[in-house]
């Protein structure tokens, strides 16, 4: 396993084509806007080396028997699935943001299932290719970006009917040594902190869309891959000298648009090629794993609840009964989320490939809760924090000889607490509910791993209605 320092050095060796604010980013690793997101991924390496977290953060590879980072592991039993959920909460609490590495883990696990299933029906050898690739990822302890979301263009049209055929990523040329692909993947979490990109189709497909039914892995700096960084609310605060106004000066996340401009993929890195009948299964398996991964938000919720309680104490308001009740409600919602990610793992089962997968109904129910509860937890945190969270002056004004003394005097809460500490905790709440981290805690909770309607469709499909009706009819004496 790599150390955080080795991870950082490994990123320096990549030659990524990254753009931000209209310019090419020459030094991605040290860029002040990107750096906190790299720190968050580096934390997945650091935590794996700490003996106290070994059980949660590492696993034994089922292909080599070696100790590996759990983020590169294929789940071998229910215990692995449960530990994955616990790892998400642990990491969310340690970083207070999206730590980005789960998408690759979820892509690897979904491919371990689907490559096997394709081979069984089609007589192909995708699973062997995949296992070789997996061994490479585990051996080098790599970060993989799991790239699923296409831009999608007109949502009412399938891929092959789009006015621009590139709005879904597709094969444009077949060669002896591989294929050439064109298209893009949007909202790619942690893209420029990744060594590898694993591409998957974004929806179930029919025969007419077979050129779009393609899955493969590429080095993140393969020729023709271009990254355009997404903005985040308050992102340029990271360019400021001080730390206070950033809320969480240590960690963050990022998303990017990843363009594949006629990119070559060798055959040994292709895991699905025109087997359109399996595109839906790959999407469904990946989505279920990733909906479980939203255990991360429970950890971030821990940070926000801790911040709200601290803010209440700094204000001298912690004994007010309505404040206590709001904290209870926040914990109730957060632990309900935890129930969801633990239960879908505990109810997991083994697929023919040997890989364990979560209970898909429960994973979708969990993610549906994630689209709602963090918003309510954030609302309650803002309620407790008070308006100062959004009206407080800049760190410079606290340092200024002209204004510092006034701010220190008039923004004091509980006199035992330095005014600046009160400001720090309010800025953290701002960061989590309105600033850069709100991308991860709120909007990503809404749309990441599929927007709310995607889960409702799965809940409708997976809830066993026949069994429910049977139970009702039996107890009401209906004999049909």
103 is an interface residue for ligand SF4 by CB under 6 A: yes
CB of 91 to ligand SF4, least distance (A): 7
Active site includes 102? yes
Q: Are 148 and 185 in contact (CB under 8 A)?
A: yes
Of the candidates 68, 102, 143, 428, which one interacts with ligand SF4 according to CB under 6 A? 102
98 catalytic? Reply is: yes
Q: What angle do CA 241, 40, 227 make, to 5 degrees?
A: 85
Q: Which of 8, 73, 97, 102 is catalytic?
A: 102
For the chain, how far is it from start to end, CA to CA, in angstroms? 61
Decide whether 81 or 296 has the Cβ nearer to ligand SF4.
296
Name the binder of 102 from Fe ion, ligand SF4, none, CB < 5-8 A by kind.
Answer: ligand SF4
Tell me, yes or no, if 195 is annotated catalytic. no
Question: Least distance to ligand SF4 from the beta carbon of 106, Å?
Answer: 8
> Per rule CB under 5 A, is residue 448 in the interface with Fe ion?
yes
In angstroms, give the least distance from the CB of 277 to Fe ion: 27
- Nearer Cβ to ligand SF4, position 189 or 334? 189
Confirm or reject binding of residue 293 to ligand SF4 (CB under 6 A).
yes
Query: From the CB of residue 57, how many other CB atoms can be counted at a distance below 10 Å?
Result: 23
How many residues touch ligand SF4 under the rule CB under 6 A: the total is 12
Q: What's the CA gap between 105 and 54, in Å, rounded?
A: 17
Instruction: Indicate the residue among 142 and 205 with the shorter CB distance to ligand SF4.
Output: 142
C-alpha 206: how far from its chain's center? 28
415 is catalytic: no
Within 6-25, the residues that bind ligand SF4 by CB under 6 A are none
Which of 97, 144, 296, 341 is labelled catalytic? Answer: 296
Mark out the alpha helices in 177-320 (DSSP H runs): 279-293, 296-315
Phi-psi region for residue 21, left (φ > 0), alpha (ψ -120 to 50) or beta?
A: left
Residue 344 CB, nearest approach to ligand SF4 (Å)? 13
Give me 34's structure tokens. Answer: 């990107």
Alpha carbon distance 331, 333 (integer Å): 5
Is 349 one of the catalytic residues? Answer: no
Rounded to whole angstroms, what are the CA distances from 30 to 5, 23, 97, 249?
13, 15, 19, 14
**Measured between alpha carbons, how far is residue 167 from residues 33, 118, 158, 202, 342 in Å?**
28, 26, 10, 11, 36
Between 92 and 159, CB nearer to ligand SF4: 92
440 binds, among Fe ion, ligand SF4, none (CB under 5 to 8 A by kind): ligand SF4
Q: Which of 97, 98, 144, 344 is catalytic?
A: 98
Q: Cβ contacts of residue 414 below 8 Å, gap of 6+?
A: 313, 314, 315, 316, 422
The β-bridge partners of 67 are: 60
Question: From the list Fe ion, ligand SF4, none, which binds 365 (C-beta under 5 to 8 Å, kind-based)?
Answer: none
Closest CA to 445 of 340, 297, 334: 297
Q: How far is the CB of 340 from ligand SF4 (least distance, A)?
A: 13
Q: How far is the CB of 281 from ligand SF4 (least distance, A)?
A: 21
Contacts of 262 (CB under 8 A, 6+ apart): 172, 180, 181, 182, 224
Per-residue mark of binding to ligand SF4, 431-450 (x: CB under 6 A): ---------x---x---x--
255 near ligand SF4 (CB under 6 A) = no
Specify whether 341 is catalytic.
no
Q: Which stretch binds ligand SF4 (CB under 6 A): 99-107, 164-172, 201-209, 413-421?
A: 99-107
Using the minimum distance from each CB to ligand SF4, give the nearer residue, 42 or 171: 42
Q: Give the CA count within 13 Å in the CB-facing half-sphere of 165.
A: 11
Rounded Cα distance between 213 and 67, Å, is 34
The answer to whether 88 contacts Fe ion (rule: CB under 5 A) is: no
Kindly list the residues in this chain that would bind ligand SF4 in the complex (CB under 6 A).
98-100, 102-103, 189, 293-294, 296, 440, 444, 448
Binding site for Fe ion (CB under 5 A): 189, 444, 448
Catalytic positions: 98, 102, 189, 255, 290, 294, 296, 444
């Amino acid at each position: 396993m790599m150390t955080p320092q080795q991870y950082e050095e490994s990123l320096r060796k990549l030659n990524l084509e990254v753009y931000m604010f209209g310019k090419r980013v020459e030094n991605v690793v040290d860029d002040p806007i990107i750096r906190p997101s790299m720190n968050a991924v580096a934390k997945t390496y650091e935590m794996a080396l700490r003996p106290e977290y070994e059980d949660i953060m590492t696993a034994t590879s089922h292909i080599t028997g070696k100790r590996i980072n759990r983020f590169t592991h294929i789940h071998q039993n229910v215990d692995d699935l449960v530990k994955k959920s616990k790892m998400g909460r642990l990491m969310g609490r340690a970083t207070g943001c999206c730590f980005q590495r789960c998408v690759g883990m979820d892509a690897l696990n979904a491919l371990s299932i689907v490559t096997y299933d394709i081979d069984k029906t089609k007589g192909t050898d995708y699973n062997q290719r995949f296992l070789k690739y997996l061994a490479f990822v585990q051996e080098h302890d790599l970060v993989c970006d799991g790239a699923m979301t296409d831009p999608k263009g007109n949502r009412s049209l399938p891929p092959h009917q789009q006015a621009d055929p590139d709005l879904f990523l597709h094969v444009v040329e077949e060669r002896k040594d591989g294929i050439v692909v064109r298209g893009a993947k949007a909202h790619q979490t942690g893209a420029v902190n990744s060594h590898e990109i694993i591409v998957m189709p974004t929806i179930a497909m029919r025969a007419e869309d077979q050129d779009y039914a393609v899955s493969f892995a590429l080095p993140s700096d393969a020729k023709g891959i271009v990254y355009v960084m997404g903005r985040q609310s308050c992102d340029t605060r990271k360019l400021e000298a001080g730390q206070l106004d950033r809320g969480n000066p240590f960690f963050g996340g990022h998303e990017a648009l990843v363009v594949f401009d006629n990119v070559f993929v060798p055959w040994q890195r292709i895991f699905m090629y025109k087997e359109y009948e399996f595109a839906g299964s790959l999407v469904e398996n990946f989505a279920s794993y990733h909906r479980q991964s939203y255990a991360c938000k429970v950890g971030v919720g821990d940070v926000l609840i801790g911040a709200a309680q601290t803010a209440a104490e700094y204000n001298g308001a912690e004994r007010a009964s309505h404040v206590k009740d709001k904290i209870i409600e926040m914990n109730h919602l957060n632990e309900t989320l935890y129930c969801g990610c633990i239960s879908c793992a505990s109810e997991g089962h083994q697929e023919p490939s040997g890989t364990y997968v979560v209970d898909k109904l429960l994973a979708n129910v969990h993610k549906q809760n994630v689209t709602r509860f963090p918003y309510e937890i954030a609302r309650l945190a803002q309620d407790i924090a008070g308006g100062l969270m959004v009206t407080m002056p800049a760190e410079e004004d606290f340092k200024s000889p002209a204004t510092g003394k006034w701010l220190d005097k008039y923004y004091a809460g509980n006199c035992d607490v330095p005014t600046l500490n009160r400001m720090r905790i309010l800025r953290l709440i701002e960061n989590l509910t309105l600033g850069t981290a709100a991308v991860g805690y709120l909007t990503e909770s809404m749309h990441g791993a599929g927007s709310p309607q995607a889960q409702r469709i799965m809940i409708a499909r997976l809830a066993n209605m026949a069994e429910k009706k049977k139970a009702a009819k039996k107890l009401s004496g209906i004999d049909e």
